Each structure stands twice: as structure tokens, then as C-alpha cells.
């Protein structure tokens, strides 16, 4: 039966600038300066090689479970729009963006090898540490953005999360608060098609994730997440809008988790190798390399050069990490940052542990002597 249609200016658009073969849609060329283009390229290569290296270290048992980022390096294009004094609120698959922002690879290695020290935040402390509870982080970005608005800065907050995160209630609450208070925040969903074993199609019934922005009358855009130019441009528009006091934006980056969910995961249980093959053709780095080569910014030799540079950076980070880890850890540190000041119960417990460790040392020394 006929009903009156409410007119709502609904548009969800899709942005792609560099196609899978590195061909540029020149009408959409953001005209980024050469040095930025090269820095973006190097950032992605570094992320890729570091990721590959961590996988080796994990298989050697030198680090523990971690979340590979292979295939999702173009996320850097979004983070690259942030100024040093803007805020980054990551989840757990944003190592590329965090390192781009200045987090040391040493601390990434420390984090994944079981050292709380890996959580130390970069100088200035405007990057939140890695945080595992899915969907819970966007609210923090919204709250930070409230502060930025309240303090009349023109800074912004950007937060990253996955397609699975959009099913959590906190995601909904974050977008609602951000839109009600019109705070300067950019929500970046890395839709990598999988939440561990759950495909995007079973995560939510909607055709796109971007359209969820419509529930809040918030600008929403779907972007080719393997096209760093599109990611950069989309994020730029969102960040500019936020800085101009025009409120939050929601971006869905269409990308793919080429590797494991974590090193504890076995994707063969739930997805076909053909699918992965298909997506490997859309690799964000090869595509961008092709474009930069045709643009004359990259040559065989230059590519080699960059590869060597990042490999040596990774090597020195690894060395710093080894030296640090050889020092070992003081278990008593587990009490240090529990509170601003240790309350009596923790002072007692710390002393208990100190005595226990002492007694243990004595015992093992004795056993050693016995053996001699």
C-alpha cells in the first residue's frame, strides 16, 4: 500500500583512484608532492618487510602471538593526514600507522615478545597504545575529540578498527556520540573481509559497512583500501572537515587480510586459497610501485635502495630489542604502573614477591652448588 516517502539525501559513494594495475584516474589525482609519494611508498615497504620479519621471529619462538598486517599497508595513507599533535587511537592491526607516526619497531617487538615495556607511548603521548578489546576504542577517540573541541584546538582524532568491530555495541555508541556532539573524529574501518573465520557477509546483513554512517546522518564513504592515493584523499577530506568543525566522518576501507588473523590462526580451516590469490593481485604496494615507476619516481635501483634502507632499519631495531631483552626483566615491575602511587596492599605484595624471588635464587644457587 502507498506510503509517503521521507526524503533523505542518502548517498554512499565509492572512491578509487589507482586501479589494480596502477593506472591513475587522472581526474581524481590528488597531486601529492613527490617526496610524500616516496615516503608513503617506503612506509608501506617497511611495514611489509617488518611484518614478514616478525613472522619469522614468531616461528622461531622469539616473539609470541601477533597480528600480521600484510595487505593492509595502505592504511598509512589515512594516518599520513594527521599532524604530530593530532591523536591516533589504534586497535591491534595498525602497526604500519603506528610506526609511521613514530612508534619504534623495537617497542613493537617488545610488545609481542611479552614485555609490558612494549606499551610505552611515543613522546607527547598522542598515540594510544595497542588495545585488544574489539570495538571498544572508537569511544575513546570520540572522547578525545570532545577535548580537542572543548579546548578550541583544531586538532583531530583518528581511530582504526575492523569490519568485525562494527558489530559491537560500542561502535554504535561511538558513532552516535560523535555525531550528536559533532566532534572532530575520523572513524576508519579496515574492512579486510574477515573477522578471524567470519566473512564480512556474515558479520552484518548490510551491503556495505559505509552505509552504517546513515544511521547517524554522518558522512560515510567506501574507499578502495588497497589504493593508498584513494585512502589518502578520502582521509584528507575527512580530516579537513573535522578541522573545520564539521564533525565526524566514517570511512570504510575495502582491503584484505592476506596473512593469518594471528600467528595462532589457521585460515585454511575457513577460507579458500583462490580468494587470497585474487586479492594478492590487488596488493597495495605493487600497484603503487608500478604507478611511481611509470611516474618516473621509482627505478629498479631506487626500489633496491629503499628495500635495503628499511631492512637495515629493521635490523637495528631488532638489535636494540635483543640488547634490551638480554637484560631480562624485573618481575617487580608488574607493580610499578598499577596506580599513580602504590597503595599499602600492593606495597605488601611487592615485598612478598621480592622475598619469594630472593628465596628462589637462594634455592637454585644451592641446587647448583649441590650439582658441582
Which positions touch a second copy (CB under 8 A)?
1-6, 8, 10-16, 27-28, 167-173, 176, 179-180, 182, 202-208, 210-212, 214-218, 221-222, 233
List the interface residues with other proteins, window 3-62 (CB under 8 A): none
User: Cβ(283)–Cβ(14) under 8 Å?
Assistant: no
Using CB atoms, what's the residue nearest to ligand TPP?
162
> Which range, of 74-82, 111-119, 193-201, 288-296, touches ligand TPP by CB under 6 A?
193-201
Cα–Cα dist 131/134, whole Å = 8
Q: Is residue 176 within the footprint of other proteins (CB under 8 A)?
A: yes
Nearer to a second copy, 151 or 202 (CB): 202
Catalytic residues: 257, 261, 270
For the CB of residue 144, give the shortest distance to a second copy in the complex, in Å: 19
Work out the burial of residue 290: count CB atoms within 10 Å of its CB; fewer than 13 is exposed, 13-18 middle, 19 or more buried.
Answer: middle
Of 83, 85, 114, 316, which one interacts with other proteins (CB under 8 A)?
Answer: 114
Contact 23, 221 (CB under 8 A): no
Q: Scanning the structure block, which residue is given the C-alpha cell 597495495?
A: 284
CB atoms under 10 Å from CB of 251, counted, come to 28
**Where on the chain is the footprint of Mg ion (CB under 5 A)?**
162-163, 192, 195
Work out how close the CB of 124 gets to other proteins at its nearest, in angstroms, rounded to a whole number: 10
Q: Give the CA count within 13 Å in the CB-facing half-sphere of 266.
A: 2
List the end-to-end C-alpha distance of the chain, in Å, as a whole number.
94
Q: How far is the CB of 64 from ligand TPP (least distance, A)?
A: 15
195 is a contact residue toward ligand TPP (CB under 6 A): yes
For residues 66 and 112, the answer to whether their CB atoms sit within 8 Å is yes
- Does residue 212 touch ligand TPP according to CB under 6 A? no
User: Which of ligand TPP, a second copy, other proteins, none binds 4 (CB below 5-8 Å, type-dependent)?
Assistant: a second copy
Nearer Cβ to Mg ion (71/184): 71
Query: Distance of CA 208 to CAs 186, 188, 242, 249, Å?
Result: 18, 14, 23, 15
Amino acid at each position: 500500500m502507498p506510503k509517503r516517502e521521507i526524503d533523505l539525501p542518502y548517498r554512499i559513494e565509492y572512491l578509487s583512484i589507482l586501479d589494480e594495475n596502477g593506472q591513475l584516474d587522472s581526474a581524481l589525482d590528488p597531486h601529492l608532492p613527490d617526496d610524500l609519494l616516496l615516503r608513503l611508498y617506503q612506509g608501506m615497504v617497511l611495514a611489509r618487510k617488518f611484518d614478514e620479519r616478525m613472522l619469522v621471529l614468531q616461528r622461531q619462538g622469539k616473539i609470541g602471538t601477533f597480528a600480521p598486517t600484510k595487505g593492509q599497508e595502505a592504511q598509512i595513507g589515512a594516518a599520513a593526514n594527521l599532524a604530530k599533535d593530532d591523536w591516533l587511537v589504534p586497535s591491534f592491526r595498525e602497526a604500519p600507522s603506528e610506526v609511521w607516526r613514530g612508534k619504534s619497531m623495537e617497542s613493537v617487538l617488545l610488545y609481542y615478545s611479552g614485555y609490558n615495556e612494549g606499551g610505552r607511548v611515543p613522546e607527547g603521548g598522542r598515540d594510544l597504545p595497542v588495545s585488544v578489546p574489539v570495538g571498544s576504542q572508537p569511544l575513546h577517540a570520540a572522547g578525545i575529540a570532545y577535548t580537542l573541541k572543548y579546548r578550541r584546538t583544531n586538532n583531530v582524532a583518528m581511530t582504526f578498527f575492523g569490519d568485525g568491530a562494527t558489530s559491537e555495541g560500542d561502535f554504535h555508541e561511538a558513532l552516535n556520540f560523535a555525531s550528536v556532539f559533532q566532534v572532530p573524529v575520523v572513524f576508519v574501518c579496515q574492512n579486510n573481509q574477515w573477522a578471524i573465520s567470519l566473512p564480512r557477509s556474515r558479520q552484518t546483513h548490510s551491503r556495505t559497512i559505509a552505509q552504517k554512517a546513515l544511521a547517524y546522518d554522518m558522512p560515510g564513504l567506501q574507499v578502495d583500501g588497497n589504493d593508498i592515493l584513494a585512502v589518502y584523499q578520502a582521509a584528507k577530506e575527512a580530516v579537513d572537515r573535522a578541522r573545520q568543525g564539521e564533525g565526524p566522518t566514517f570511512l570504510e576501507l575495502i582491503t584484505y587480510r592476506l596473512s593469518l588473523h594471528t600467528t595462532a590462526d589457521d585460515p585454511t580451516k575457513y577460507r579458500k586459497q583462490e580468494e587470497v590469490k585474487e586479492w594478492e593481485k590487488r596488493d597495495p604496494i605493487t600497484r603503487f610501485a608500478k604507478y611511481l615507476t611509470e611516474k618516473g619516481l621509482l627505478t629498479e635501483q631506487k626500489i633496491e635502495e629503499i628495500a635495503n634502507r628499511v631492512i637495515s632499519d629493521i635490523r637495528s631495531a631488532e638489535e636494540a630489542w635483543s640488547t634490551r631483552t638480554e637484560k631480562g626483566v624485573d618481575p617487580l615491575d608488574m607493580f610499578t604502573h598499577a596506580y599513580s602511587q602504590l597503595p599499602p596492599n600492593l606495597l605488601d605484595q611487592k615485598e612478598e614477591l621480592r622475598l619469594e624471588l630472593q628465596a628462589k635464587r637462594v634455592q637454585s644457587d644451592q641446587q647448583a652448588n649441590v650439582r658441582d
